[in-house]
Amino acid sequence: MKITVRSAVETDLPSLLTLYSELNPDDAPLSQESADAIWASISGQQGRTVLVAEADGAVVGTADCMVLPNLTRGGRSILFVENVVVAGSCQRQGMGQQLMEAAMHLGESAGCYKVQLLAADDEYVHTFYESCGFKPLAQGFRRYIAQGRRSSVPA
């Protein structure tokens, strides 16, 4: 099976939504109108690349990559990777490895000093990222924002 990793395009949106439903099965599906508007926003962001892994013409994996400019480390950016998923039927076939290699290349070409991601508290997932050369060097923290709640941030 030939695996190709490339940047996602608008026609990949239905496949991306299917993959994301595997990643977060409890999420309510987006309306087509919402999905289209969000995709337009994502695809217009400078430094944002949604990668897809294709096998035999079908999108079977994805990783969302964002280059963040940075005022430390000599001004070298950071590449954040989020929403990494490979279809359950295609796991353990090298697609995730190729997605992560492509993310590393994006970071290198953008002059980033590191690629960073958060991983689910899952031994399989941790083993996968370690096999891709990532090290668990920091502890991540998160705080979820209640839906519908807005905070005021000083300008």
Please check the confidence at residue 136 and state whether its pLDDT lies above 60. Answer: yes
Mean pLDDT (whole number) for 15-23: 94
Residue 41: is it exposed, middle or buried by C-beta count within 10 angstroms (0-12/13-18/19+)? exposed
Q: Give the model's pLDDT for residue 143.
A: 86
Q: Give the model's pLDDT for residue 140.
A: 82
The pTM assigned to this predicted structure is 0.88
Mean pLDDT (whole number) for 12-30: 94
Q: Give the model's pLDDT for residue 49.
A: 97
Q: Which structure tokens are listed for 36?
A: 């289209």
* Domain 3-131, CATH among 3.40.50.170, 3.40.630.30, 3.40.50.20, 3.40.50.150: 3.40.630.30
Q: Give the model's pLDDT for residue 43.
A: 94
